[in-house]
Amino acid sequence: MAEKLRYGIIGIGNMGSSHIKMYTDGKIKEMELVAVCDIKQDRLDYAKEQVPGVATFLSTDDLFASGLLDAVIIATPHYLHPPLATQALKLGIHVLSEKPAGVYTKDVRELIEFVKTQDKTYAIMFNQRTNCVYRKAKELVSSGVYGEIRRVNWIITDWFRTQEYYNSGGWRATWDGEGGGVLMNQAPHNLDLWQWICGMPSRIRAFCHNGLWHDIEVEDDVTIYAEYPNGATGVFITTTGDCPGDNRLEITLDKAKIVCSASEITVEELTDNISHYTYHSNGAFKRMESHMVDVETDGMNEQHAGVTNAFASHILHGTPLVADGAEGINGLTIANAAYLSSWLGETVELPLDEDLYLAELNKRRATSKAKKNVTESVEADMSSTFGS
């Protein structure tokens, strides 16, 4: 294996441009950016200005056939993530996909099964997993030192977006272009962290409000109620309509409460387990004593560069990924279940009925206002791709 991996970026929109900046800022240690791909010539011109000498392609077919790549970062609209990942892997190219893994779990599940037959790496950009706050929360919950989860609440409402944001691309905030709204675009990081730290729920009841705060056809305000196999419950609230909004994750365990923001974690420890004290206390209103615990983290939060460097190191040296691509189906399952619950007006059991979800999604795609049918573009000509 070469000292550095040669890599390309597909889609030079918001995220693709961010990946270029990380490279030009010297944050990518073991990869060399050798090629970019987008259907817009002006985006390719921009990339060439930033990285002189980089090869540019208007077609993914030509990019993949160039022989230049060891790895590729996919930063396109969501429907394209699974087919482009599959195409790259078939040609022996390692893949790092931006979130989400795809739009619907049936498509992603097929990709995951295909990956099992390959010897190349498929990773996903869950950069929030690099945040020391969430890593510590996972460590504490997984350790079992405070017992099982009883309740989890996440208010993540600091995703404010203006109408201009939604107007910036004809595929944005449409069922046929993006496959959803806040759950599919902004909140996949939080849905991933939710299941990564707390595990997968068994039942979902959700309320997804389409165009509540913006002129869009998809949801911009969501409340999810979840039930877990052990009887625990959870609530997840998100929107792009609040300003300034909030980000507070609260996990109640049998012997402690963990509270996380994007930059801080606190732990309040009880003197006894709730499950024991409830039935053995001799006072009807007597509350347990508690105390705050000093929580130490390593202070690191490497974000996108951390995920990308771990991707390269995994390929070159066999070190762990931040997130294996196969894990992308978990948060997507919650999102799909939330949509289906809201559409049907009923509680949805997990595992998800993937065929039913896809049928309901396709009903909405059929009347979508997307300016370009992304999926048909891919199926008709795999060389077409779009900046994200």
pLDDT digits (tens, 9 = 90+) for 308-324: 999 999 999 999 999 99
Same domain, 276 and 319: no
- Tens-digit pLDDT profile for residues 96-109: 999 999 999 999 99
Are both 263 and 234 inside the same structural domain?
yes
Is the per-residue pLDDT at 374 higher than 80? no
How much of the chain, in percent, has pLDDT values that exceed 70? 95
Q: Is the pLDDT of residue 92 over 80?
A: yes
The pLDDT value recorded for residue 382 is 33
**259 and 124 in one domain?**
no
Clarify whether residues 113 and 193 are in a common domain. no
Residue 374 resides in a domain: no
Q: Are residues 152 and 109 in the same domain?
A: no
How does residue 27 score in pLDDT terms, banded at 50, 70 and 90?
A: very high
State pLDDT tens for residues 113-151.
999 999 999 999 999 999 999 999 999 999 999 999 999
pLDDT of residue 372: 53
355 assigned to some structural domain: no
Please indicate, yes or no, whether residues 73 and 99 belong to a single structural domain of this protein: yes
Question: CATH number for the domain including 242?
Answer: 3.30.360.10
In a domain, 363, yes or no: no
What pLDDT does 379 receive?
35
pLDDT, mean of residues 229-256: 98
Q: 166-195, pLDDT tens digit by residue? A: 998 888 999 999 999 999 999 999 999 999
Domain limits for position 185: 129-293
Count how many domains the chain has.
2
Q: What is the CATH number of the domain that holds 29?
A: 3.40.50.720
In 10 A of CB 189, how many CB atoms?
A: 20
Same domain? For 242 and 163 the reply is yes
Q: Establish if 368 belongs to a structural domain.
A: no
What is the per-residue pLDDT across 146-171, written as a single tens digit (0 to 9) for each? 999 999 999 999 999 999 999 988 88
Please write the tens of the pLDDT for every residue from 2-20: 589 999 999 999 999 999 9
User: Which 3-state string (H, E, C) describes the chain?
Assistant: CCCCEEEEEECCCHHHHHHHHHHHCCCCCCEEEEEEECCCHHHHHHHHHHCCCCEEECCHHHHHHCCCCCEEEECCCHHHHHHHHHHHHHCCCEEEECCCCCCCHHHHHHHHHHHCCCCCCEEECCHHHHCHHHHHHHHHHHHCCCCCEEEEEEEECCCCCCHHHHHCCCCCCCCCCCCCCHHHHCCHHHHHHHHHHHCCCCEEEEEEEECCCCCCCCEEEEEEEEECCCCCEEEEEEECCCCCCCEEEEEEECCEEEEECCCCEEEEEECCCHHHHHHHCCCCCCCCCEEEECCCCCCCCCHHHHHHHHHHHHHHHCCCCCCEHHHHHHHHHHHHHHHHHHHHCCCEECCCCHHHHHHHHHHHHHCCCCCCCHHHHHHHCCCCCCCC
Instruction: Tell whether 318 and 276 lie within a shared domain.
Output: no
Assigned domain for 377 exists = no
Instruction: Note the pLDDT of residue 2.
Output: 58
